[in-house]
Structure 1
Amino acid sequence: MIALALPAAEEGGFAPPGVGEHLPAIFSIGSFDFTKHSLLVLLSVVIIAFFFMFAIRKGSMVPGKLQFLGETAYGFVRNSVAKDVLGGQDFIKYVPLLFSLFFFILVNNIYGAIPILQLPTFSHVGGAYVLAALVWFIWIGLGFKKYGIRYLKLATVPSGVPWYLLPMIIPIEIISNFLVRPVTHSLRLFATMLAGHLIVGVAGSGIEFLIAQENILLQGTSVLVLAGAVAMYFLEALIMVLQAYIFVLLTAIYIEGAMNADSH
């Protein structure tokens, strides 16, 4: 598609966006560029902190609308993720982590549905890698903290497997649990955010291109593209919420697996 679009651009047709036009630096300090992406990530922390601090400022027994919204949001992560997956009495200690991850990812995803901002920050893979690495170190650390070096055996040697299959099973388990799991954890979030962002962006560029044509048939086709873009916009908004939930749900599952490795 790019190979076809570039000659068209040279002939005065549709010009695809280039890498150099994407996220120019707001300011630079040495080799560090502070971009729109960086600004939105910092802004998300401010938004989350301000909202929940403002929501609980009164702490009334009969909550107002904002307090009710904040308590409902907290209760969703506490009960539907932490309690349901981790269970027992220890789940409460992991609620702050899961709560922070969920709303940090959610706000940064929702940016992509806001017309002026129009940038889900996890459409850049670096942020997804960092969060997945953080979760990886946490559940690996919890496993070693509880079981010591025995955790390596529990995580890589499935119970009930015949001894003669272990030389084949153990490398697969090591790759699956310690390498593939964090990669897929991050790429799932990144790929869905990037794909949705690109689809809406391409549709918007296509509408602009079709409207600019002199052919009335092509101009009319832009209405169909617009209808498809609106549908994709709402689908992308739904996926933004689902991906925040899936990332946190998998985090809880990984923690539960590490804490109860001897029972799996």
Structure 2
Amino acid sequence: MFGITMAASGDEFVAPGPNSFDFDAVPLFNLGGLAVTKPMVQLLLGALIVFVFFYAAARRATLVPGRLQFAGESAYGMVRNSVGRDIIGSHDFLRFVPYLVTLFFFILVNNAFASIPGIQFPTFSRASMAYALAGLSWVIYNAVGIKKHGFLGYLKLQSVPSGVSPVMYPLLVPLEFFSNILVRPVTLALRLFANMFAGHLLLILFSTGGLFLIEYGGIGYVAGPLAWVLAIAISFLELLVQFLQAYVFTLLNAMYISGALADEH
């Protein structure tokens, strides 16, 4: 279930690593020559779950909301107010709310797949998935900035810090350009990918390590169950991390959009 390709030779335990994720890269089936893998199916399933939830919550909206409508409105309002309005500002935030709400819940559902029995794999522990999402975000906030300030005006906004002596420009301008234009999508994706990857790896380590210790015998009869207790504790910690990573990714998107719309850097 964890997609383990662990091997043990004699009394040696081979710790899980990146190769432990190889199982989930094996195509489930081919569709017109396209190899469809488990993470690809999870992306589609995650998008479908988000759509169905909000569609069902809004389909029969009434003045006095039922439980499903209340849940949908509360979920929408959390991202709308605490991320969109508070970060981007009341003047511009409304047009970005649909994107931010979709982004948050799409990431959250795909992260939560790591804790669902039968799936137990976080979609964004595949680096390509995280970088594709970060690339989309990069296109959006840069397009927003270029539309408002023009291409050269936006480059100046992102590369030339205000209130700094021109003498410092040769040093600061390349650093600002590198940081604000080139590095942001990399760090945005890396943060999401690394947390999902590391959490899943820890669960594999303590789960399979506990089994190995019990089979080894001796002190392993004590250490093995203890490793499983730690695996359970990490599982609950992962629930928090799954939410926080979705929130942080969305929050940073709102901050980048806000910075692209700002008149000063």
Task: Give the TM-score, by structure 2 length.
Answer: 0.91
Indicate the residue corresponding to 2:9 in structure 1: 10
Give the CA deviation at 1:210. Answer: 1.9
Question: For the Cα contact (< 8 Å) 2:125–2:197, is it kept in 1?
Answer: yes
SS in 2 for 1:133: helix
Equivalent residue for 2:99, pick from 97, 116, 119: 97
State the distance in 1 between where 2:117 and 2:210 align. Answer: 16
1:162 aligns with 2:165: yes
Distance 1:212 1:194, change over 3 A: same
SS in 1 for 2:256: helix
Indicate the residue corresponding to 1:67 in structure 2: 69
Write the letter of the residue equivalent to 2:264.
S
1:203 aligns with 2:202: no
Q: In the comparison of the two structures, how many residue pairs are matched?
A: 256
Deviating 4+ runs (over 4 angstroms): 15-20
Give the CA deviation at 1:263. Answer: 2.7
Indicate the residue corresponding to 2:28 in structure 1: 26
Indicate the residue corresponding to 1:42 in structure 2: 44
Distance 1:22 1:56, change over 3 A: closer
Give the CA deviation at 1:121. Answer: 0.2
Give the CA deviation at 1:13. Answer: 4.5
Distance 1:21 1:98, change over 3 A: closer
Give the CA deviation at 1:16. Answer: 5.3
| Unpaired segments ≥5 residues, structure 1 | 1-5
State the distance in 1 between where 2:245 and 2:158 align. Answer: 26
SS in 2 for 1:56: helix
Indicate the residue corresponding to 1:3 in structure 2: none
Deviations along 1:7-64, whole A, 9 cap, x unmatched? x833364455646544321112476321111111111111111111112222121111
Deviations along 1:142-162, whole A, 9 cap, x unmatched? 111111121111111111111
State the distance in 2 between where 1:10 and 1:227 align. Answer: 25
Give the CA deviation at 1:77. Answer: 0.6
1:219 aligns with 2:221: yes
| Unpaired segments ≥5 residues, structure 2 | 1-5
Indicate the residue corresponding to 1:81 in structure 2: 83
Give the CA deviation at 1:78. Answer: 0.5
Give the CA deviation at 1:95. Answer: 0.2
Give the CA deviation at 1:89. Answer: 2.5
Deviations along 1:194-227, whole A, 9 cap, x unmatched? 00010011111112212223x2421221121111
Equivalent residue for 2:147, pick from 145, 161, 180: 145
Distance 1:126 1:61, change over 3 A: same
State the distance in 2 between where 1:87 and 1:27 align. Answer: 46
Deviations along 1:166-204, whole A, 9 cap, x unmatched? 111111011101111111011000000000010011111
| Higher mean displacement: 24-33 or 225-234 | 24-33
Indicate the residue corresponding to 1:228 in structure 2: 230
The percent of aligned pairs where both chains have the same amino acid is: 47
Indicate the residue corresponding to 1:184 in structure 2: 187
Task: Give the TM-score, by structure 1 length.
Answer: 0.91
Indicate the residue corresponding to 1:118 in structure 2: 120
Give the CA deviation at 1:70. Answer: 0.7
Write the letter of the residue equivalent to 1:263.
E
Write the letter of the residue equivalent to 2:10.
E
State the distance in 2 between where 1:16 and 1:155 align. Answer: 44
SS in 1 for 2:103: helix
Indicate the residue corresponding to 2:252 in structure 1: 250
| Higher mean displacement: 242-251 or 84-93 | 84-93
SS in 2 for 1:33: strand
